[in-house]
Structure 1
């Protein structure tokens, strides 16, 4: 009986097991609330929504340090429209976990590109280049988060609430905000 699995299947399973283990460890270190906190249960349309840049990428902060007091992780979603992308970048202080809920795209990890589909996940160590491009005709929804928590404030700094006027950031604004949150974009 052949019990071998492909490298891709192994990496997918290993990443999933690693993320689950990481999240279990994170949650075990949190101070447990005395009673259920309704802010920790959100439906699909709930959370803090920000529209990012001229592309109006929709980021929803589900769980974060500022609102929920969770210090060790955050959880967000982003809807990426057809032809849109998250430019290749890296974080100096956070690990990022990414799960593709629906859609297809091209994920950059380091210097390589990989096709991703619904159910794909990635664990991105700090200082590793990564980005995501939607090359399909449908929205791509990404569920993602950071450990430790705090980087979700970046989206508050660069985005606007739905209905608010667009924010025009100068190159100096971008440099200041990117420096504050330890993010570097690849040229």
Structure 2
């Protein structure tokens, strides 16, 4: 029986993670909560997410507040509050904030693993950054391999 996996969170509450995630990231359902079936995060999109592909996970985003743009198959889509998009595995996509304050969205990945990727990424700290402080996507891709995820190589600014 799976009743022991019941999770109830109050407004603003998130699941505990093994490493602190930066402000704006909150795990609502961890991969371990769902026996690996899904992960649910509430994210504030403070930085652009460059073109990347999930080989295993479908990604679903639902805009709570603000606006974001999603690049998918050579088209750009603007999502406003209440809109959502399913980004199927195996197809590259990118996301950008398109509002101030930054967009807040629910992100659901299935199967799970996105929360674990984020924990591994932030646990790596400076080991995945360039001398200028940007994310070195080649180094990030080494972490992403465990989760079937890869970015187009280069760097990603953190500010």
Instruction: State the TM-score, normalized to the length of structure 2.
Output: 0.77
Which of 65, 76, 83 matches 2:41? 76
Runs of 5+ unmatched residues, structure 2: 129-135, 154-159
Equivalences for 1:15-164 in 2 at 5 Å? 31-33=1-3, 37=6, 40-47=7-14, 48=16, 50-51=21-22, 58-66=24-32, 68-81=33-46, 84-159=47-122
Match of 1:180 in 2: 146
Q: How many residues get paired?
A: 141
Could you tell me how far apart the structure 2 residues matched to 1:74 and 1:97 are? 10
Determine helix, strand or coil for the equivalent of 2:24: strand
Instruction: State the TM-score, normalized to the length of structure 1.
Output: 0.67
Instruction: Check the 8 A contact 1:87/1:131 in 2, yes or no.
Output: yes
Runs of 5+ unmatched residues, structure 1: 1-30, 52-56, 161-165
Could you tell me how far apart the structure 1 residues matched to 2:44 and 2:141 are? 25
Distance 1:69 1:111, change over 3 A: same
Determine helix, strand or coil for the equivalent of 1:174: helix
Could you tell me how far apart the structure 1 residues matched to 2:148 and 2:13 are? 28
The RMSD of aligned alpha carbons is: 2.3
Q: Which is richer in helix?
A: 1
Could you tell me how far apart the structure 1 residues matched to 2:70 and 2:34 are? 31
**Which structure has the bigger radius of gyration?**
1
- Deviation digits for residues 37-63 of structure 1 (CA, Å, limit 9, x no counterpart): 3xx111232114612xxxxx6321111
